[in-house]
């Protein structure tokens, strides 16, 4: 076999491994979303993927390795999309544009990766402690990024400094992630949902004009 043939064979093998690995992950995410962590076995994943259970070990050495990747993808890919969209904005972008962009991109990312993001929300509390602990830095980094987004919005001016930005972030995350349970598309677009969420949050954070004392 020539060096060229060896290189070609190696490339083909790598592509096949990558495709097989992706098939396992996509299948596992779908099953974890539907059946939960305890309700999904390696045999279930293999059967749904159309392979023998032993074949899974070509790609992952355990169920926990699979679930760890599902959790990572469900957060990291959304994080990357939000960060890229926000960083593409001009430095002078106002709070409205900044928050609308972040919220809309988060919603698009979540709904584009529904099996992964839904699985993330459903099974995070079900997985073994060591899997959760390994994944916490990724979640924490994304939450810190959102804290930075809200702080940047606050620097644009107009926020009531007595408002709790941490509480606003938790409220916003609950609202955004909750759309996985009810959003069906149709007459209402994700952009419209993002715009409404942005307006609700900004209205709650902005300073209200002080009331003048009524004339005596």
User: Looking at the domain assignment, is residue 22 inside a domain?
Assistant: no
User: So what's the pLDDT on residue 14?
Assistant: 55
Please give the Cα distance from 40 to 38 (Å, whole number).
6
- Percentage above 70 pLDDT, the chain: 88
Cβ proximity of 42 and 63 under 8 Å: yes
CA distances from 155 to 12, 71, 91, 98, 208 (A): 52, 33, 12, 12, 17
Q: How far apart are CA 61 and CA 130, in angstroms?
A: 16
Mean pLDDT of the chain: 89
> In this structure, is residue 139 part of a structural domain?
yes
Is 92 among the domain residues?
A: yes
Beta-ladder partners of 159: 206
Please report whether residue 168 resides in a domain: yes
Distances in whole angstroms, Cα of residue 119 to Cα of each of 6, 31, 161: 40, 8, 36
CATH of the domain at 67: 1.10.357.10
Residue 30 maps to a domain: no
Task: State pLDDT tens for residues 70-117.
Answer: 999 999 999 999 999 999 999 889 999 999 999 999 999 999 999 999
Does residue 213 lie in a domain region?
no
Q: What predicted TM-score, i.e. pTM, was given to this entire model? A: 0.86
Instruction: Write down the pLDDT at residue 132.
Output: 96
Write down the pLDDT at residue 183.
Answer: 94
Question: Is 159 or 120 the better-scoring residue by pLDDT?
Answer: 120
Q: What percent of the chain has pLDDT over 90?
A: 79
CA distance 125 to 131: 10
Q: Compute the distance between CA of residue 107 and CA of residue 50 in angstroms, rounded to an integer.
A: 32
Alpha carbon 156 to its chain's center = 26
Residue 98 lies in a domain: yes
Report d(CA 24, CA 30) in Å as an integer: 10
pLDDT digits (tens, 9 = 90+) for 138-194: 999 999 999 999 999 998 867 888 889 999 999 999 999 999 999 988 889 999 999
What is the domain range of residue 97?
63-205
Q: How many domains does the chain have?
A: 1
The answer as to whether 143 is a domain residue is: yes
Mean pLDDT on 192-212 = 84
DSSP reduced 3-state for 150: helix
């Amino acid at each position: 076999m020539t060096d060229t043939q060896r290189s070609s064979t190696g490339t083909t093998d790598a592509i096949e491994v990558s495709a097989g690995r992706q098939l396992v992950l996509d299948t596992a995410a779908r099953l974890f979303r539907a059946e939960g962590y305890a309700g999904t076995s390696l045999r279930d994943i293999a059967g749904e993927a159309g392979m023998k259970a032993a074949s899974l070990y070509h790609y992952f050495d355990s169920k926990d390795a699979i679930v760890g990747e599902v959790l990572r993808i469900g957060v990291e890919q959304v994080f990357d999309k939000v960060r890229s969209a926000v960083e593409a904005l001009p430095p002078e972008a106002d709070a409205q544009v900044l928050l609308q962009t972040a919220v809309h991109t988060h919603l698009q990312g979540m709904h584009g990766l529904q099996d992964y993001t839904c699985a993330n929300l459903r099974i995070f509390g079900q997985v073994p402690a060591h899997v959760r602990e390994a994944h916490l830095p990724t979640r924490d980094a994304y939450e810190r990024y959102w804290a930075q987004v809200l702080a940047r919005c606050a620097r644009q001016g107009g926020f009531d400094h007595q408002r709790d930005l941490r509480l606003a972030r938790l409220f916003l995350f609950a609202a955004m992630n909750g759309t996985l349970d009810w959003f069906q598309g149709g007459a209402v677009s994700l952009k419209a949902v993002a715009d409404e969420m942005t307006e609700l949050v900004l209205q709650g954070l902005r300073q209200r004009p002080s009331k003048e004392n009524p004339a005596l």
